[in-house]
Amino acid sequence: MTDEEIPVLIVGGSLVGLTTAMLLGHHGVPSLSVERHAGTAIHPRAGHFQLRTMEVIRQMGLEERVRAKSLETYSPTGGIIAVESLAGRELATYVKELNEGVEGFSPTVRVFINQDALEPLLRERALELGATVRNRTEAVAVDQDDDGATVTLRDLDSGDERQVRTRYVVAADGTCRAASPSTSAPTAPSCCATATKASSTCTTRSCAGSSGSTAVAATASSSSTPSVTT
Ligand SMILES: Cc1cc2nc3c(=O)[nH]c(=O)nc-3n(C[C@H](O)[C@H](O)[C@H](O)COP(=O)(O)OP(=O)(O)OC[C@H]3O[C@@H](n4cnc5c(N)ncnc54)[C@H](O)[C@@H]3O)c2cc1C
């Protein structure tokens, strides 16, 4: 007997987890994201988002909010250079102008926006689309069977544990960290959601391969997943 049932349980409420929750919500699939931190990112981390990412954000109805937030910190025609010091010599130009050469390829634009500014917008949109996000909650075990998985969640404030029954688990829990210490990997076809690791860390499937113990396999589709460049 479990305490709760949800079609998709997402472990991790950062860029990948919140984006997955938002996309599932957009397609009418209820999800529960659990995140051990009290809120979204507090450090800037990722800061430059490519056209395809912005196209997905646009499809989710979030483009205007993201572009407006970006403008609070960055010039939309900014670039990336190396300088000796803030008042010193320019040493190198990495990106002269963020959108130079890509005008006309997309209805949207590349933006600079820091992760701690973007994540609250992803979260807000995911909630608007019907997702549930639960902070200070850790997934501590995933037990898979033929029909889905039973995930044990721990409330990090009270220490209370509850069990959630789900058809799919998405490991959006960061770099090569298994979603659970006590799991077995389902086969890829059982996945309904896309969760690819942003940047070059690893895919959840390769995490499963390396740890041999994650409850998640996810399909990475380059046409529908966000990308983050360093
Ligand atoms: C210092 C630093 C600087 C960076 N700079 C850049 C940059 O300039 N450009 C760039 O593109 N990228 C940068 N990155 C990388 C970028 O931040 C990551 O690619 C991105 O955050 C990955 O998102 P994610 O959702 O996969 O994982 P994460 O952001 O790692 O999120 C995983 C989340 O899962 C939660 N979690 C884990 N296990 C559990 C569990 N069992 N139960 C509940 N919650 C759990 C964690 O608390 C975490 O919030 C940087 C990273 C760091 C650390």
* Atom 4 (ligand 1) nearest CA: 45
pLDDT in tens, the chain (230 residues): 789 999 999 999 999 999 999 999 999 999 999 999 999 999 999 999 999 999 999 999 999 999 999 999 999 989 999 999 999 999 999 999 999 999 899 999 999 999 999 999 999 999 999 999 999 999 999 999 999 999 999 999 999 999 999 999 999 999 856 555 454 433 333 333 333 322 222 233 333 333 332 333 222 223 333 333 33
Split into its structural domains, the chain has a count of 1
Is residue 93 in some structural domain?
Answer: no
State the distance from the centre of ligand 1 to the C-alpha of 113, rounded, in angstroms. 15
Kindly report the backbone phi and psi dihedral angles of residue 11, in degrees, each rounded to the nearest multiple of 5, phi listed first.
-95, 110
State the distance from the centre of ligand 1 to the C-alpha of 27, rounded, in angstroms. 25
Is residue 216 in some structural domain?
Answer: yes
Residue range of the domain that includes 223: 4-67+113-229
Is residue 195 in some structural domain?
Answer: yes
Instruction: Kindly report whether the global pTM for this prediction surpasses the value 0.85.
Output: no
Is residue 96 in some structural domain?
Answer: no
Q: What is the CATH number of the domain that holds 128?
A: 3.50.50.60
Q: Which runs of E-coded beta strand occur in the chain? A: 4-11, 31-35, 48-49, 80-83, 90-95, 111-112, 132-135, 137-145, 148-155, 161-171, 228-229
226 touches ligand 1 (CB under 6 Å): no
